[in-house]
Structure 1
Amino acid sequence: MNYKKGLILVNAFSKLKSAMHQPVRLKDELKVLGIECDIKPCSIETAMIISGSSTSFLKDYDFIIYLDKDKYTSALLEKTGKRLFNSHEAILTCDDKMMTHIALSDKGIKMPDTIPGLLCYNKDASLQEVMKRIEMIEQRLGYPCIIKECYGSLGSGVFRAENRDELLLNMEKVKCKEHLFQKMINSSEGKDARVIVIGGKVACSMKRISDTDFRSNIELGGRAEVFDLPPSFKEISEKVADILKLDYCGIDLLFGESGEPVVCEVNSNAFFGGMESVTGFNVAGAYARHIKEIIYETKVC
C-alpha cells in the first residue's frame, strides 16, 4: 500500500477546549487506521502567492483536514492541489449563514423566511434612513424575529426582537457587520436537533434543549439528549450535505409547527465532543474511515 500522511490544520488563535479536543481525536482515530497525521496551526507560511503562483510549503502531506475557517488559506491550498476535508467551497458557504441559505434556496429545503441585512460602512449612519426596510421586516417576519450576524458560532451574535424598539437596538449592534433577519420558529423555541452527517449519510443525532434561552446551544446553558431521528429529518439532513458537497458537517434543524424539520444552520466544522458524550457514537472514528475511503478510493469496514 502507498502509505498516506495527513495534516490537521487548526486556527492559530483559538483556545477553546472543544477546538483543541477535535484534532486530537481525529489524529488518534486515523492512527488506528494506519494513517499518520500532524496537527499544526495555520500560519502566514502555510500558503501564499509567490511570483504569481499559489505556493504552499506543506510538501509532505497527501491531504489536509481543515479545521480553520481562513478562506484565503483554504483557497490557496486547493489551488496547489491539496485535498481538503471539507473543501474550500463548502467551508466558504457554511461559514456565512446568509450564503448557506442562498445555496439551499430553490432546492425544496424548508428554512425560516430570511431577509439579508443591508451593508453599512458608516458606524454613525442612522437607521431612520432605512425605515422602509424595517417596515418590510415587520410585515414579512413579524415579532418576535431573529437577528443574526452571518459569521459566528456557539450561539454568539444571535438576537431576538419582540418589538420595533428591540429590533432597532439589535440592528444597531450588527449594523456594520454582515447580518440577516429571520422569522422566529416559535414551535422550536429553546430546542433543536443537531445532526452529524459524514460522507453523505447521517451518522448520529441529538436533541438540544434550553429552559432559559431561545437558543439551545449547550455552550449557553442548554442540555442534550439522545434523539431518534425521524425519517424526514434524516432525509433533509442528507440532502443538505449533498447540496453543499460536505464530507462532514453538523446540521441544526428546528421543529416546525407540524413537527417538520426546518434548516436553521449548517456547520462544516461542527464540534463533536458533546455528540460523542451524549450518544456514545464514535464520530471521530467514522470521519476517519470516510477520509481513508476517499484518499485510498476503497471501502473501509
Structure 2
Amino acid sequence: MKKKHGLLIYREEDINRNEKFISLLIKASHNVHRPLTLISYEQLLIQVSGSSEFFTRAEMPLPAFIINRSVSPWLNELAEMNGIRSFNSSYISRIANDKRLSHSIMKRLRIPMLETLQITKQRLMENTPLPFPFVVKDPYGRGGTSVHFITNAAQLYETNTNLPNELIIQPVAKSPGKDVRVYVVGKQIVGAVLRESTNKDIRANISLGGQSSLYELSKKETAYIEQIIKHLKPDFVGLDFLFDEHGNVLFNEMEDAVGCRSLYMNSDIDIASIFMKYVASET
C-alpha cells in the first residue's frame, strides 16, 4: 500500500503535556500507512505567496494531509486552498474555536443550551445584562481557561484586568462543576465521559483536578449528537454538555484539538487508532 505522509502540528507549549497521545497517534499512523511527522506550529515556515511550495522546508515533502492541533483555523483553511486535506476541516476548526459561532450553529439545530450573550468588556462593565451570579468566558478559550464565575459587582471589577475585550456571558448551570464530554470521529460516537469537579470549581476539566467516569448516553442525548454530526460532519471533536436542574444536557462547547486523557483513563478505547483509521479512509 502506498504511504501518504502527514504533518501533526502542535504548539510548542502543548507538546510535552500531550506527549503520550502524540506517541499513540504516530504509532497508529504507521499501522495504517499514513506516517505522521510531528512539527511545532512555531517552527512552520509557510509560503503564502510566490511560486514556491506551500511548506518551504526542503527536507520535508509536501504532506498529503495535516492534523492541526495548534488551534489555528487559518492554517487549516490555507492547507485546503493548496489541496491538502485538513483534519479537522477549516469550517469545523473555526466554529469549534469560537464559542460565539458554535453556540449560534447549535441554536439553529435546536440543541438546548444556556442563554448565551456576546458582549464586549466595555459594555459588560457599564451595565451587566444578566443578574449575578453569572459566568464570563473568553470565546476563544479552551481547556477551561479564561472562565470566570462572577458573584457580584466588586468581583467583576476585580476580574476586569484579566478579561479580554471580547466575551460571552451565561447564567450559571444548575449543576455547576459537572459535564459530559462526547468523543466523535467522523460519523461515529466513540465514547462519552462524565467529568465532575472535586473542589467546588464550576469547571470539571480533568487538567484542573476534576474526576471522571464513563458515561452512557441516553437515546435523547444520542439523537442530539447524531443531529450535530449529520449537520457539521466533523472529523475528530469533543462535544461538551452541561446539565440543567432535571438532568437534561445543555450544549457547552465543541473542542477542535480535544483532549482524550479521561477516555483513556476510564476505558480501553484507543481513539488514536480509531482516528488514524478514519484519516486513512479519507486520504
Is 1:193 aligned to residue 180 of structure 2?
yes
8 Å contact kept, 1:232–1:261: no
CA gap of 1:111–1:53, structure 2 versus 1, over 3 A, is farther
Confirm or deny: 8 A CA contact 2:6 2:63 kept in the other structure.
yes
1:264 to 252, 264, 271: 252
Q: 1:45 to 1:215 in 2, by over 3 A?
A: closer
Select which of 145, 148, 159 maps to 2:148: 159
C-alpha contact 2:263 2:269 (8 A) present in aligned 1 = yes
Alignment match, 1:36: 35
Match of 2:264 in 1: 276
After TM superposition, list the pairs within 5 Å mapping 1:76-225 onto structure 2: 76-118=78-120, 130-131=126-127, 134=128, 136-138=129-131, 143-174=132-163, 176-186=164-174, 188-212=175-199, 213-225=201-213
For 2:109, the aligned partner's letter is K
Match of 2:231 in 1: 243
Secondary structure of the 2:212 match is strand
Shift of 1:275: 1.1
Structure 1 residues 242 and 50, CA, compared in 2 at 3 Å: closer, same or farther? Answer: same
Cα distance between partner residues in 2 of 1:55 and 1:294: 21
Task: Sort the Cα spacing of 1:5 and 1:55 in 2 relative to 1 into closer, same or farther, 3 A.
Answer: closer
Check conservation: 1:56, 1:77, Cα contact below 8 A.
no
After TM superposition, list the pairs within 5 Å mapping 1:5-20 onto structure 2: 5-17=5-17, 19-20=18-19
CA distance in 2, matches of 1:10, 1:286: 20
- Is the CA contact 1:209–1:216 (under 8 Å) kept in the aligned structure 2? yes
How far 1:71 moved relative to its partner? 2.9
- Mark the CA change 1:46 to 1:74 in structure 2 (over 3 Å): closer, same or farther: farther
- Cα shift at 1:247: 0.4
Unmatched 5+ residue regions in structure 2?
none
Normalising by structure 1, report the TM-score. 0.84
Q: Could you tell me how far 1:97 is from its partner in structure 2? A: 1.5
- Listed one character per residue, the Cα deviations across residues 87-138 of structure 1 (whole Å, up to 9, x for unaligned) are 1221111111122112222211111101112265xxxxx966x32xx1x222
Distance in 2, matches of 1:171 and 1:239, equals: 38
Deviates more, 1:20-29 or 1:84-93: 20-29
Q: Is the 8 A contact 1:115 1:137 kept in 2?
A: no
Aligned position for 1:290: 278
Question: Deviation at 1:76?
Answer: 1.8
Asked if structure 2 preserves the Cα contact closer than 8 Å seen for 1:104 and 1:243, the reply is: no
Structure 1 distance, partners of 2:66, 2:9, is: 7
In the aligned structure 2, how far is the partner of 1:239 from the partner of 1:154? 24
Provide the rounded CA distance (Å) in 2 between the counterparts of 1:45 and 1:159.
34
Q: Deviations over 1:33-71 (max 9, x none)?
A: 233221112246442322399933364321111111123
Query: Partner of 1:298 in structure 2?
Result: none
Residue identity over aligned pairs, in percent, reads 23
- TM-fit CA distance, 1:177: 3.1
Tell me the CA shift for residue 202 of structure 1.
0.8
Question: How many residues matched?
Answer: 279
Matched-pair contact (CA < 8 Å) for 2:120–2:165: no
Cα distance in 1, alignment partners of residues 81 and 12 from structure 2: 22
* Shift, 1:182, TM fit: 0.6
Aligned residue for 2:22, secondary structure, equals helix
What is the RMSD computed on CA atoms of the aligned residues? 2.3
1:31 aligned partner, one-letter code = H
Mapped partners of 1:82, 1:46: distance in 2: 16
Structure 2 distance, partners of 1:16, 1:177, is 30
Question: In structure 2, do the counterparts of structure 1 residues 127 and 255 end up closer, same or farther at CA, with 3 Å as the change threshold?
Answer: closer
| Native 8 Å contact 1:147 1:171 kept in 2 | no
Q: Which amino acid aligns with 2:7?
A: L
- The structure-2 alpha-carbon separation of the partners of 1:163 and 1:290, relative to structure 1 and needing over 3 Å to count, comes to same
